[in-house]
Amino acid sequence: MIFFVLLFFLIHAVIVFLVTKLITARMDPAQRGLVKWIALICYFVPLLGELFGLVSWLIARRYASDKTLLDYDDYIEFDVVNLEGLQQQAADNIDLVPMGEAMELDAKERKQSIVRLTTTSIADSGKYLQFGLDHADSETVHYAATVRNTLYDRYEATIKSREEQLNPGHVTTYYQLIDAFEAFIDSGLLDDSMQKRIFDRFGSYLQDMRIHYPTDATCLKACGKLALAKGDVADVLGYYERLIRHYPEQADGYLLAIEYHFTRGDWTKLAPLVTQLKRHVAPVNIPDDKRYILDRLEGVEL
């Protein structure tokens, strides 16, 4: 009796093996795993294994999805874009990230951390200086205030130099002035009264530039950024719409509008912009660091 049982298991196993080889040879490699798993069960549980395997196969065919695995594949295969830029940013920020912790160290470390801000080109440096200005040690406060004044004077001097070099006949002189003003605004060094004065001063130059170069892309972007900083919502979108209208084949206007609506959760306004961008802008004109985000947005029901 035992001999016949063993013989049955052996013949059954051989048949399962041959059938499995025949089936998997004609299947998509991605689907072979389920068949091999069913075959493994059949080796040890004849007949019931086949029945269980058939049920499993039908369920897998109806409900299984590899979407999660595909998304994970996209994630692990995603190439880091603009690696050199990220490396430079990391090098600039490496000593500034632990500024809060540095304020808890000895006086020498605190001073060094504060002074580094004079040699590091980083936006929002005022935020880091505030750690020193709020410190209980008077010498640390003095160092932070001195560095703050030094940076402030440096930005003012740069703007003054650009103002003296301004020539309405040469648009690049406006570009240099825009860079100087935006760096000062992004520095985080301005209090409310200073900010208003700089905004007004910058705005007057932008209005003058619009007279000479009414459709210049850099001017429109700067006007939009200034309006955003001032909280003039209607003006912000107006400048972005002009960018799109005058430069429909360039990505800047679309990307700025997408970022604006995204940060405010205006989901219904994102889909038309993404569609417009994909329709009118060639992929080569879309920055690499934005393309991946756009692909993700396009795949989401907005």
pLDDT at 108: 65
pLDDT at 69: 43
Q: How confident is the model at residue 101 (pLDDT cuts 50, 70, 90)?
A: low
Cα–Cα distance measured from residue 79 to residue 210, given in angstroms and rounded to the nearest whole number: 40
For every residue of the chain, DSSP letters joined together read -HHHHHHHHHHHHHHHHHHHHHHHHTS-GGGHHHHHHHHHHHHHSTTHHHHHHHHHHHHHHHH---HHHHHHHHHHHPPPSSHHHHHHHHHHHTTTTTHHHHTTS-HHHHHHHHHGGGT---TTHHHHHHHHHT-S-HHHHHHHHHHHHHHHHHHHHHHHHHHHH--TT-HHHHHHHHHHHHHHHHTT---HHHHHHHHHHHHHHHHHHHHH-TT-HHHHHHHHHHHHHHT-HHHHHHHHHHHHHH-TTSSHHHHHHHHHHHHTT-GGGHHHHHHHHHHHS-GGGS-HHHHHHHHHHHTS--
> Taking CA 129 as the corner, what is the angle to CA 124 and CA 133, rounded to the nearest 5 degrees?
145
Q: Render pLDDT for 232-290 as a digit per residue (tens, 0 to 9).
A: 888 999 999 999 999 999 999 999 999 998 888 888 888 888 889 889 999 888 888 78
What's the pTM value of the predicted model, to 2 decimals?
0.63
Q: Is 5 exposed, middle or buried (0-12, 13-18, 19+ CB in 10 A)?
A: exposed
Q: Render pLDDT for 170-218 as a digit per residue (tens, 0 to 9).
A: 999 999 999 999 999 998 888 888 999 999 999 999 999 999 999 999 9
pLDDT at 238: 92
Under 8 Å between Cβ of 258 and 277? yes
Which token pair is 42? 């059949």
Supply the mean pLDDT for the chain. 76
Which residue bears the tokens 């989401």? 300
